[in-house]
Structure 1
Amino acid sequence: MDKLIVLIAGLALIAFILWWFFGHHEVDQAEAKTVADHQAVAIEVNGGYSPERVVLQQGVPATLTFTRTDASSCLDQVVFADFGINQDLPEGQPVAIEINTDQAGDFTWACGMDMFRGQIVIK
């Protein structure tokens, strides 16, 4: 009986791990609001990024404003490797980051430890 319980628990754990790493997860997405030829998106940093995916219009200056409410040291930086940006995110303070939208494409950002990620889509 004990072996059966261990087997079932092991299979359940394997299924959970497969779902966690390979399953399709909904991603919070936002399109930037354009006001006076400038687009802006507010991103909350709390156990990850919300929204995780941001859609921007090509050629229109853009600002992403990150506000970190999570005390985790992993999320105290945001790195945009494609744009050469590595910005500290002090807890409770909004930090505005200007994004160059001259080139269309998909670009990523990540926390300082590269554990949490987000995506910018410039169309």
Structure 2
Amino acid sequence: MLTLVNLLGLALVAWIVWYFWLYKKEGVAVTEVAGVQEINITVKGGYDPDVIVVKKGKAVRLHFTRRESALCSEMVVFDTLGRSAKLPEGETVTLEFTPQQAGEIPFQCQMGMLRGKVVVTS
């Protein structure tokens, strides 16, 4: 019995390590309209989608719509861009920027619990 409990515990630890540190989500490519890359992001228990793929040198518009009242999700923060935005419940807030170099631009709620990233490609 003790061996079974230990095996289940190890399996759970392995799953947690894989899910939080090793699993890489594929990003969602944005739609380009008139030279602007745009995507709608729903905020409800997280960001959906939470990995967004864009091209460098072209304007990006992220449309955040908050569908919950949790305090954690009332702001989105882009530390590397020095930008943030309040997200009133039920309203769409647009954040626009033009990435100049390839790499990742992380974003999160003000508490750091909800996370996402913009992956900038060449």
- Which bin holds the TM-score, normalised by the shorter protein? 0.7 to 0.9
Alpha-carbon deviation of 1:28? 6.3
- TM-score of the two chains, using structure 1 as the length reference: 0.82
Mapped to 2, the partners of 1:85 and 1:92 lie a distance apart of 21
Aligned-pair identity in percent equals 33
Structure 1 residue aligned with 2:64: 66
Structure 1 residue aligned with 2:116: 118
Superposed CA RMSD in Å reads 2.2
| 1:98 lines up with 2:88 in the alignment | no
Match of 1:42 among 40, 46, 68: 40
Distance 1:115 1:34, change over 3 A: same
Query: Which deviates more from structure 2 when the two are superposed, residues 16-25 or residues 77-86?
Result: 16-25
Find the structure with the greater CA-based Rg.
Answer: 1
**SS of the counterpart of 2:16?**
helix
Mapped to 2, the partners of 1:26 and 1:83 lie a distance apart of 23
Distance 1:25 1:72, change over 3 A: farther
Give the gaps of 5 or more residues in structure 2: none
Aligned residue pairs total 119
Query: Which deviates more from structure 2 when the two are superposed, residues 72-81 or residues 14-23?
Result: 14-23
Give the gaps of 5 or more residues in structure 1: none
1:79–1:111 Cα contact (<8 Å) kept:
yes
Give the aligned residue type for 1:20.
I
CA-to-aligned-CA distance 1:57-90 (integer Å, 9 cap, x gap):
1111110000010211111110000100121111
Match of 2:16 among 8, 15, 20: 20
Distance 1:74 1:18, change over 3 A: farther
- TM-score of the two chains, using structure 2 as the length reference: 0.83
Where do 4+ consecutive residues of structure 1 move more than 6 Å?
A: none
